């Protein structure tokens, strides 16, 4: 494992620990309003300062990590299930089924993902659950293509012919032999996809159509800081750096996994 991959793994591990142990790490209630400490700069009492309602920014950042990472993991989990299933079916059965699925993927890729999400959110309530579902439902196409390509190669191997010879069902062959052996490139896509989902959620929350206040997420904290950027630099700096470092960590980890798989 090279140094950059290890650095990315440390970043990912750090923010996961912060998200899991948020109630123990946060020093204050993330939604507690304190009108006597509005827009207080970083100090011993509030190490990241306070926001325009006097809420402790460090506590909101800690709980925001939980929300942002949850969105990333669940959204990519949804995308993974859809992409892996459709890619495996298309690659294994081929013929007209492969053609239909691949043309559907081509149609999905024609739509700009961000604007497609905006259009769907305009019809639905902008809640955290809708955000996770929408991001997942519009991010599976790359995984499906990777899975299909691997299945096309693997299904002609001798061990698959042996499984067919002993009467194994298609479901058993796909689930127990093909998908596990085809997961390597998909795993890289999943790792990079988490970074993309976190960045996308932050963008939506920054625009006011993602996770809604008072629930803290890095994107809506950044959006709140936009109005007071001239007098409260910390409102933009800390959430912006958290998003940047987290996305960097997942990208470094994904690239490390890719290099490891290429060498093997």
Number of structural domains found in the chain: 1
Quote the pLDDT of residue 13. Answer: 93
Give the model's pLDDT for residue 113: 75
pTM: 0.88
pLDDT at residue 2, as a whole number: 80
Note the pLDDT of residue 256: 87
Q: What's residue 125's pLDDT? A: 73
Domain of 9 in residue numbering reads as: 3-17+48-263
Return the pLDDT at 262: 64
**CA angle in degrees (0–180, nearest 5) for 65-67-73:** 95
Residue 38 included in any domain: no
Would you call the peptide bond into 143 cis, given omega within 30 degrees of 0 as the criterion? Answer: no
Torsion of CA 31, 35, 39, 42, to 10 degrees: -70
Question: CATH number, domain at 192?
Answer: 1.10.3720.10
Tell me what pLDDT residue 61 has.
93
pLDDT < 70 regions, the chain: 1, 262-264
Q: What is the pLDDT of residue 213?
A: 80
> Alpha helix (H) ranges present in the chain?
3-20, 22-25, 57-93, 95-110, 113-123, 128-137, 141-154, 158-165, 170-173, 179-181, 183-206, 218-226, 234-263
Q: Do the domain assignments include residue 219?
A: yes
Q: What is the pLDDT of residue 109?
A: 86
Instruction: Answer whether residue 25 is part of any domain.
Output: no
Q: What is the pLDDT of residue 264?
A: 59
pLDDT of residue 209: 81
Domain membership of residue 78 (yes or no) is yes
């Amino acid at each position: 494992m090279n140094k950059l991959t290890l650095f990315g793994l440390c970043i990912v591990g750090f923010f996961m620990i912060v998200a899991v142990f948020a109630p123990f790490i946060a020093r204050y209630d993330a939604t507690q309003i304190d009108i006597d400490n509005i827009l207080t700069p970083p100090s011993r009492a509030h190490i990241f300062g306070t926001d325009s309602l006097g809420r402790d920014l460090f506590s909101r950042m800690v709980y925001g990590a939980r929300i942002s990472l949850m969105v990333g993991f669940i959204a990519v989990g949804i995308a993974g299930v859809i992409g892996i299933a459709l890619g495996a079916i298309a690659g294994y059965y081929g013929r007209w089924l492969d053609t239909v699925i691949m043309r559907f993927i081509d149609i999905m890729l024609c739509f700009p993902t961000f604007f497609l999400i905006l259009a769907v959110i305009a019809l639905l309530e902008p809640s955290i659950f809708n955000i996770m579902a929408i991001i997942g439902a519009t991010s599976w196409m790359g995984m499906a293509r990777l899975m299909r390509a691997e299945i096309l190669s693997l299904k002609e191997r001798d061990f698959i012919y042996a499984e067919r010879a002993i009467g194994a069902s298609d479901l058993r062959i796909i689930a127990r032999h093909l998908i596990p052996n085809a997961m390597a490139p998909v795993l890289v896509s999943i790792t990079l996809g988490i970074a993309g989902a976190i960045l996308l959620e932050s963008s939506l929350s920054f625009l006011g159509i993602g996770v809604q206040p008072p629930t803290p997420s890095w994107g809506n904290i950044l959006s709140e800081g936009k109005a007071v950027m001239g007098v409260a630099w910390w409102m933009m700096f800390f959430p912006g750096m958290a998003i940047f470092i987290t996305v960097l960590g997942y990208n470094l980890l994904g690239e490390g996994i890719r290099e490891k798989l290429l060498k093997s």
